[in-house]
Amino acid sequence: MKCKYLLIFVLILLASCNRQVASTQCDAPMIKVGSECCTDSNKNNLCDDLELKNDTKTKESPITGQVIKDDKPEYPKLSEIQSDINKTYYPLKRYVFNNTDEYNLTGVWNIFNVSGADRFYILTMKKEHNYLDNEKNFSNFIQRMYDLRVKNNEVWGQSYIDSAQQTYYDWEDVIYRYDHNLIKINILGKPAFLEKHYEIFDQKGLLKDFWLEYRINIWCTPESVVLIYPSDKFWFIYTIGSFVETELKYVNGLLKKENENMYEDAEKIMRLCNSNPEYLKFSSNEIVFYGMDSFHPTEIKIKAGENIRLHNENDYNNAEIFTFIRQEPYKIFISGEINYTTYTDIQINETGNYTFFAPQYAGRASVIVR
């Protein structure tokens, strides 16, 4: 009788094991992962719900070895933003981003570092709780910075007048006129801010002094904001003693034209912030002149009748004229005037080896015409 009960118990145990084995089998298109089944419709031995899109990070589970989802997107770090700006605008990476000190009245600048090169500045958040994770964070940050700048400028403007009146006899009756605004704009579907500060010292309607700050604030990454200032081509001369309203009308007209350039640059910056930079590329017949930093490249080769394109990026002079010399047979000619940040095409029809230079600089370059 005991043997009969023992046999029944063994049969029940075997049946239970068979059911457990059966329950862990996965019918197509399911696959087995650990002790569970999941759908694998594309038959790549990965669970469909664990496969990731191209714009997200990927990593493997330490338990299953399968690819799992990490929703935190990739974005460029500070060094990558700096490098991409240089490659977008300066082919030799001539402008190096240096750390810049900001005046600090309230301690707000303690939450970020400032690095700048030429007309681009980058504010980099120091701590994770200061990150700009959403549009509201970014808008609040820019508004806070703007409000602080307005307060500082108002204090500084009156202090400047008080100091000048103590030093110069002709600063009586000067008043401080401060025109400023902050306008929210859209750059490639992402929020940005256009910021303006006019600091005018008015003496009975006549201009005594004038300061201008004009920039676009780009929300680049959760760690950074990029500031874009007017291009190198934007500059003006104001006349002390002229009518204030006349000068303002003149400057506003220049800024209206410069807006187009700044918006184009803002789009370039936004693209590189989205890891899609547009690098500046030069053709084989192009040479860039950098003044004391010489030419890049220092030699090109063209066919007779082709043009060379000569760019002037020498920021020490407004314009340059270049001398071309061929020794055998001897020939010399002079280029037309090339303004700063512009270029000219020069056609050379006769073969030979030409050396060219700007007379006041030591740098030389050559063009070989075949």
Q: Give pLDDT tens digits for 324-342.
A: 999 999 999 999 999 988 8
Q: Who wins on pLDDT, 202 or 26?
A: 202
Maximum Cα interatomic distance, the chain, rounded to a whole number of Å = 126
pLDDT beyond 70 at 55: no
Q: What is the pLDDT of residue 131?
A: 86
Q: Give me the pLDDT at residue 22, please.
A: 41
25-29, 75-79, 255-259, 354-358 — which is least confidently predicted? 25-29
Give bridge partners of residue 216 from the DSSP assignment. Answer: 194, 228
Structure confidence at residue 66 (pLDDT): 55
User: What pLDDT does residue 33 have?
Assistant: 64
Give the pLDDT confidence score for residue 32 in this predicted structure: 65
Output the CA–CA distances (angstroms, integers) from residue 66 to 47, 50, 53, 60, 71, in the order listed: 8, 8, 15, 5, 16
Q: Residue 233 has what pLDDT? A: 75
Q: Which residue's entry shows tokens 């590189």?
A: 272
Phi, psi values for residue 346, rounded to 5°:
-120, 120
What is the pLDDT at residue 315?
A: 77
Given pLDDT bands bounded at 50, 70 and 90, which one contains residue 86? confident
Buried b (16+ CB within 10 A) or exposed e, 107-125: eebeebbbbbbbbbbbbbb
pLDDT of residue 29: 74
Instruction: Report, at the CATH architecture level, how domain 286-369 is classified.
Output: Sandwich (2.60)
Distance CA(295)–CA(128), nearest Å, equals: 43
Three-state SS at 153: helix
User: pLDDT: is 61 or 169 the higher one?
Assistant: 169
pLDDT band at 103 (very low <50, low <70, confident <90, very high): low
Q: Is the pLDDT of residue 49 over 60?
A: no
- Tell me the percentage of the chain whose pLDDT exceeds 90: 56
At 78, the pLDDT band (50, 70, 90 cuts) reads: very high
DSSP state of 243: B
Average pLDDT over residues 43-47: 69
Cβ–Cβ < 8 Å for 79, 268: no
Q: Which residues pair with 321 in a beta bridge?
A: none
| Mean pLDDT to the nearest integer, 344-348 | 94
Name the β-bridge partners of 355.
325, 366
Which of 354 and 42 is assigned the larger pLDDT? 354
Question: 316 or 264, which is more confident?
Answer: 264
Bigger pLDDT: 130 vs 176: 176
Domains of the chain, by residue range, sit at: 79-273, 286-369
Q: Which helix (H) or strand (E) holds 74?
A: none
- Quickly state the pLDDT bin for 282 (edges 50, 70, 90): confident
Please give the mean pLDDT across all residues of the chain: 83
* pLDDT of 54: 37
- Check residue 36 and give its pLDDT: 67
Phi-psi domain of 3 (left: phi exceeds 0; alpha: psi -120 through 50; beta: other): alpha
> Mean pLDDT, to the nearest integer, of 101-130?
79
Q: Among 57-61, 82-86, 171-175, 353-357, which is the least confidently predicted range?
A: 57-61
DSSP 265-289: HHHHHHHHHTT--------TTEEEE
Q: What is the DSSP letter of 7?
A: H
What is the model's pLDDT at position 299?
94
pLDDT above 50 (res 96): yes
* Omega before 62 within 30 of 0, i.e. cis: no
The predicted-structure confidence for 198-217, as pLDDT tens digits, reads as follows 999 999 999 999 999 999 99
Checking if the pLDDT of 369 tops 70, the result is yes
pLDDT band at residue 128, thresholds of 50, 70 and 90? confident
